[in-house]
Amino acid sequence: MRTILNIIWLVLSGFWMALGYIVAGIICCILIITIPFGIASFRIVLYALWPFGRTVVRHPNAGTMSLIGNVIWVIFAGIWLAFGHIISGIALCLTIIGIPFGIANFKMIPISLMPLGSEIVSTRERDAMYSGNAYYPNA
């Protein structure tokens, strides 16, 4: 089911949102001092293309530098990417079939605003982290 949702997502919203993250990453890499933000943006591209079956895990001890970096990120690119998710989410929620995809867009707003200090993992990995079991992808 995740594969079908991801394919439909890719067509309706994923490609365009991933393109936005790529543009933000390129701009951040051109500005040299914002290269860490560009790397974070490129990390999110795959999540924007294929979000179902993945989730965001925040690191509670990310630190002050992560907070400062996220504030700078919001100014340069975060607000525009979040705005794209809001517009796309509202447009998708106008149809019954698009509601799950609109909700997925709304769930991506926090990572678009605060990419530093968080990690994108599969839902299996997240469940293993919180259950205390080790994650074995080939099991």
Task: Please report, for the chain, the start and end positions of each structural domain, with discontinuous segments joined by +.
Answer: 2-120
Cα–Cα nearest to 1, from 102, 105, 100? 100
Q: What is the pLDDT at residue 137?
A: 52
Q: What is the pLDDT at residue 119?
A: 84
Tell me how far CA of residue 123 lies from CA of 15, 54, 56, 79, in angstroms: 22, 5, 9, 26
Q: What is the pLDDT at residue 20?
A: 92
Q: What is the pLDDT at residue 134?
A: 54
Contact assessment for residue 121 and residue 54, using Cβ atoms and an 8 Å cutoff: yes
Mean pLDDT by 10 residues, the chain (139 residues): 88 91 93 88 91 85 85 90 94 92 92 88 77 54
Q: What is the pLDDT at residue 36?
A: 87
CA 81 to CA 32: how far, in whole Å? 20
Q: Is 63 exposed, middle or buried (0-12, 13-18, 19+ CB in 10 A)?
A: exposed
Q: What is the pLDDT at residue 118?
A: 84
Q: What is the pLDDT at residue 105?
A: 93
As a three-state string, the secondary structure of 46-71 is: HHHHCCCCEEEEECCCCCHHHHHHHH
Q: What is the pLDDT at residue 139?
A: 46
Which pTM was predicted? Answer: 0.82
Q: What is the pLDDT at residue 19?
A: 94
CA angle 41, 44, 45 (to 5 degrees): 90
CA 139 to CA 132: how far, in whole Å? 16
CA 38 to CA 41: how far, in whole Å? 5
